[in-house]
Homo-oligomer: A and B are copies of this chain.
Amino acid sequence: MNEENKKYITKFPVFEREVNYYETDMMKIVHHSNYVRWFEEARTYLLDFLGYSYARIESEGFMIPVLSVSCEYKKPCRFGEKLKVIAKIDSYNGVRMKIIYEVWNEDLTELRVKGSSSHCFVDKNFNPVIIKKTVPELHRIFEIAKRIGDKIDLI
């Protein structure tokens, strides 16, 4: 990660995460399935940072289910390490949203995992919802978050 990006990242919501022992497997590394969960944690953290928690979104009757997820494993993470998970909104058009993720070591010198998730917006009965109309405040927040994310170059 280049120096300019690193500086910018310090102002950006970066989710810090230690490895839990129960997340390791007999290869002595974090089992690959856990990163999908870390992505969810980083996504939740981003929403908290933006001032509109996912708990609030669900309590208001909306859900943001996952349509797809992808994960690329560059280097393993091990128990005892502190990692940094960066989540940024890659695209958002009011109906669909794509978030991209990077897991870095503590001093941002080694990329461990990259990934993405795509989402839609639904109500309690899984019927599609147009965020711009039904939750305009959240719509504005996603648009701002999208613009903030644009300033960070993920690999």
A interface residues, tally (CB under 8 Å): 36
Which residues does chain B contribute within 8 Å of A26, judged by CB atoms?
A: 21, 24-26, 28, 58, 79
Binds B, one of A62-70, A84-92, A93-101: A62-70
Which residues does chain B contribute within 8 Å of A16, judged by CB atoms?
A: none
Q: Is A139 an interface residue (CB 8 A)?
A: no
Which residues does chain B contribute within 8 Å of A55, judged by CB atoms?
A: 79-80
Within 8 A of B (CB), among A2-41: 20-22, 24-28, 31-34, 36-37, 40-41
With A37-B20, A80-B53, A80-B59 given, is the CB distance from A27 to B73 under 8 Å?
no
The interface residues of chain A, by DSSP majority, are classed as mixed
User: B-contacting residues of A (Cβ < 8 Å)?
Assistant: 20-22, 24-28, 31-34, 36-37, 40-41, 44, 53-56, 58-59, 63, 65-73, 76, 79-80
Give complex CA distance A76, B96 in Å.
18
Shortest Cβ-Cβ A-B pairs, 3 listed: A55-B80, A24-B26, A70-B70
